[in-house]
Every structure is written in structure tokens, then in C-alpha cells.
Chains A and B, each alone.
Chain A
Amino acid sequence: MSALLQLTGVTAFYGAIQALKGVDLVVNKGEIVTLIGSNGAGKSTLMMTICGNPRARNGQIVYDGEDITRLPTFEIMRRGLAQSPEGRRIFPRMSVHENLLMGAYGRPPAEASQDMEQVFTLFPRLKERMAQRGGTLSGGEQQMLAIGRALMSRPRLLLLDEPSLGLAPLVVKLIFGAIRELNRTTGLTVLLVEQNAFQALRLAHRGYVLVNGAITMAGPGAELLARPEIRAAYLEGAH
């Protein structure tokens, strides 16, 4: 397997606070990789650092053989990455339709409408809400919209930040099912950040554990799931 994304010794700072302390991480083509860790471990920072905001201070980020460490965010994203970010960041005063179109920014309209149909197949609820303003959607619908919008760029690497946050178990199941389905049918590569470690590790091929801005453990999802220290730290009462 070849690496689609490779981080080597990546550090990042928010002001004087060091949020990432030399992260090494690999995502291979066609893999679902999950990054688990507690609140404040630096998971979202890592996702944003991959996208160049904040920029990595040290280390290197290579995407598809190209060093993207110093590229501006919009240039990185145009290379086939898409992120469904922390907090979903739906455009509140745009319709669902427009939010999805924003995901297809810069791509031909014909392709965009084709992809939109696929998103609607995945999340039929979004089609019903097409004309509704993003800000008026429920949390679960916004999450579907955020993922759908990310898919609209036809990404090769999908970065999902806490897609299960604050959602009802049924919706989480739906969304995780959709991710698995996409990975299986289209070979979409996914990097998934989750607090819901049990679900994430079951879904992912491999997992990393992030503690205080550094990777402390890595391995196949099932293997991590079986480790007692993981169970103790992240899975108590989770599912």
C-alpha cells in the first residue's frame, strides 16, 4: 500500500501553546484511519494543520508525494482533500443546496449536480431540506450536510472531525454506515477524528491514539480495541 498522506515530526502552536509535539502519522490509499484521544489532545488541531491552518512549525506533511507543508490552505484543499470540520461550520444563511454547491467550488456544474445526486442517495434527508437555510437544520442534518459538502469536491482524502458529536445513536449509526459504504464502493480514503472511540475503532482499519499532542499508540483498529489501557481510558461507558 502506498501512503496518500504522511506526517513526519509535525509540530503546531496556538500562540505560545504547543498543540502538536512531533506527530508521525500515515494514511494509506483506500484506508479508513481513525485518530482517537480525549478532549484537548490536539485532534482537531492536527486536522487543521494538515490543511495548513495553523501551519505546521516543524516537520513535514506530504500528500500524494507532494510536500504541502508550506502551501496556503486553499491550494492544499484544491489538491483533493476535503474536511468536514469541528463544529460543522455550515454556512448558516445559505440553503442546503447552496452549501452543497460550495463544496463543489471550482468544478463544472454538470459534475456538481451529478455528485449532488450521490450525496442525496447517501443522505435522502438533505434532499427534503434542499431549500432550507443551513442555520435552521437540526444537528444531525447539519452533520450530514457537512459531510455531503465535503464529498461534493470529489475528494481523494476525506477528513472527518467528530462526525458523531452530539448526535443521536441512530444518526451516528447512519453516518458511520455511510462512511463505510463510501470507502468500500469508491475506495475513498478517510481520516476520522473521534471521541466515540469504540465506534471509530470498529469502523477503521487502523487507529492512532493522541495524548497531549503526541501519538502514544498505533495499530489496527481491532487490536487497539482489545488493549486494556485503551478500554480503560477511552471506552469506559462509551457505547
Chain B
Amino acid sequence: MNNGAGVRVAYALQQIINGVTLGMIYGLIAVGYTMVYGIIGMINFAHGDIFMIGAFLSLMGLTVLSALGITSVPLALAITLIAACSIAALYGWSVERIAYRPLRGSFRMAPLISAIGMSIVLQNFVQVSQGARDLNLMPLIPGGLKVMEEDGFVVQLSWMQVAITITTLAMLGIFTWLVTKTPLGRSMRACEQDLKMATLLGIDTDRTISLTFVIGAALATVAGMMFLLYYGSINFYIGFSAGVKAFTAAVLGGVGSLPGAVLGGLAIGLIESLWSGYASVQYKNVAAFSVLVVVLIFMPSGLLGRADIEKV
């Protein structure tokens, strides 16, 4: 192998590592989209903004803890994660209670429109209360693995990237189990397939739906925290771009399928990263959303979605 080829391989490998990491973040957000879709057949457009709020809550938590003199990074991360997830879960619950539940049984576009409204409300709320500028965080999980070095080009796999990948896969495993094997998961699927029948079986469907939003918001917060730790910089607008990409991932993977959401996230992450690496950074979003268009036209049920999907 001559040097030129070696560097090219190294460069490609680095792009793939970065793309996988990005894809895992999108994937975890997409899992939240898909879970909510899986229960009420509705795209919760405010989900991306809950992700953004999760990132802000994480930043606040870490700042407060460091001001209190807690220097142990794992401890600070654990406390922050629990606190941020709880508060974001409250946001998720409130969003459903305020904007979606009153519209249940209304025409199908109604909750979608109020979801977009909710998304704008949350964005503006954070913009006003936290300011519009980027907020930054010092890297908390430094270091990594030198995968290979070729002609001075070092391929890095950071510990943060490893942590993101493991977290997303673990969440995917846990929630796949929850949905397919537990009574809660069964009642969630029952709500999606026949809400009226679910109540006839004694299921408190409102409570089940609320719980799904709470879980979705907690997942989004985990993703938001990973985003914060990985990029070290957040603003009120990150929920929109990441949210739309994660939505694309969910559609690509097949809305309603949890493994599909992560698979779709991976695909979008890789497309974005490889496009940025080889074509142009400016057009990376064009590449990602072209995928959405192509999938919607030629494969509306996505990679792992069921064929009889009818409501988007």
C-alpha cells in the first residue's frame, strides 16, 4: 500500500467513526420519535426541542454541581443525568397534557399542528430565558484510542464516541425489551392498534400515553446530554436541526420500529459525515434530506417498517 492510499483509508475510517457517533445521537432521538409514533400514530414535532431542553438542563446541572465543588466527573454526570431526565420528563408530560390530549379524537392534522406550535414555544422559551448565543462546556471525558496512524494522519476514536455508541445501543436494547416483552409495552402497542379496545380491557390509556411521552423525553435528554458532552456547545436552535434529522432517521428506518430508528440514524449520520468529508460541508443537509425525499417516494415504510403503515 503506498502512502497516498494509506492516508485515504485512514481518512475514510475517521469519517466513518465520526458518522457512526453522529448517527447514534440521531438514532437515540429517533427512538423517542418512533416510540411516540408507535403509541398514538403521531409525529411529536416538539421532541427535538425536548432534546434541546435536555441539553440545556444537563449544562445547568453540570455548572451547578461544579459550583458546589463536586469534582468527580462520573458523580456529576450521574446526578445531572437523573435530574435532567426527571425535569425533561415533566416537560414531555406537560407537552402531551397541554397540546395533544385535548385534541385526541380531533382530526388528524390537529395534533401535528399543535406539535409544531409547541416546538416553537419551547424554542422561544429557551431563547428568551437562556439567550440566543452558544453556550459552551469544557470537555469532561477527554482522551481516546489511536486506531491507526498513516503518514502523520491519526485516526482517533475518542472515549466519548465509544460512550455514545454504547449508550445508544444499551437504550435500544432496554426499550426494545420494554416494548416487546413487558405489560407496559404491550399496553402501549394495544393503544396504538386499537385505543377503544384498550380501554375496554381496563387500560388507562391516558396514563399509558403520558408515560410514553415521559419515557420519550427522558431518552431525548440522554441524547441531549451526549450532544452537549460531544460537541461542547449548544444553543436554542439545536433541537430543530437534530430533530428534523432524527425524524428523517425514524422515517428511513421505518416509523414505529426501534431498531429501525437507530439504523436510520446510523445511515443519516454516515451520509452526513461522508458527504462532508468527500463532497461539501455546506451541502450535507441537502444530502441528508434528499434521502428523506427518496425514501418517502420509493420506500414509504422504511427499512424495517411494516408494510401496512397508513398514518404519518
Q: Does the CB pair A94–B202 fall under 8 Å?
A: no
- Give chain A residues whose Cβ lies under 8 Å from the Cβ of B189: 91, 93-94
Complexed CA–CA distance, A85 and B193 (Å): 15
Q: Does the CB pair A105–B196 fall under 8 Å?
A: no
The A interface, classified by DSSP as helix, strand, loop or mixed, is: loop
Number of A-B contacts (CB under 8 A): 58
Indicate whether B194 reaches chain A with its CB closer than 8 angstroms: yes
B187 to chain A, nearest CB (A): 6
Counting contact residues on chain B (CB < 8 A from A), the size range is 10 to 19
Our pick among A53, A83, A101 for the contact of B186 (Cβ within 8 Å) is A101
A85: nearest residue on chain B (CB-CB)?
A: B200
Complexed CA–CA distance, A98 and B190 (Å): 10
Indicate whether A103 reaches chain B with its CB closer than 8 angstroms: yes
- Give chain A residues whose Cβ lies under 8 Å from the Cβ of B201: 77, 102-103, 105, 149, 153
The B interface, classified by DSSP as helix, strand, loop or mixed, is: helix
Q: Does the CB pair B196–A89 fall under 8 Å?
A: yes
Indicate whether B204 reaches chain A with its CB closer than 8 angstroms: yes
Complexed CA–CA distance, A105 and B203 (Å): 7
Indicate whether B63 reaches chain A with its CB closer than 8 angstroms: no
Complexed CA–CA distance, A73 and B197 (Å): 10
Besides A85-B200, A105-B202, 10 more A-B contacts (Cβ < 8 Å) are A53-B196, A72-B199, A74-B199, A77-B201, A89-B197, A93-B306, A101-B183, A103-B201, A105-B203, A106-B202
Binding site for B on A (CB under 8 A): 51, 53, 72-74, 77-78, 83, 85, 89, 91-94, 98, 101-103, 105-106, 149, 153
Return 21 A-B CB contacts under 8 Å, by A number.
A53-B196, A53-B199, A72-B199, A72-B204, A77-B199, A77-B200, A89-B194, A89-B200, A91-B189, A91-B190, A92-B193, A93-B189, A93-B193, A94-B189, A94-B193, A98-B186, A102-B186, A102-B187, A105-B186, A106-B183, A153-B202
Binding site for A on B (CB under 8 A): 183, 186-187, 189-190, 193-194, 196-205, 306
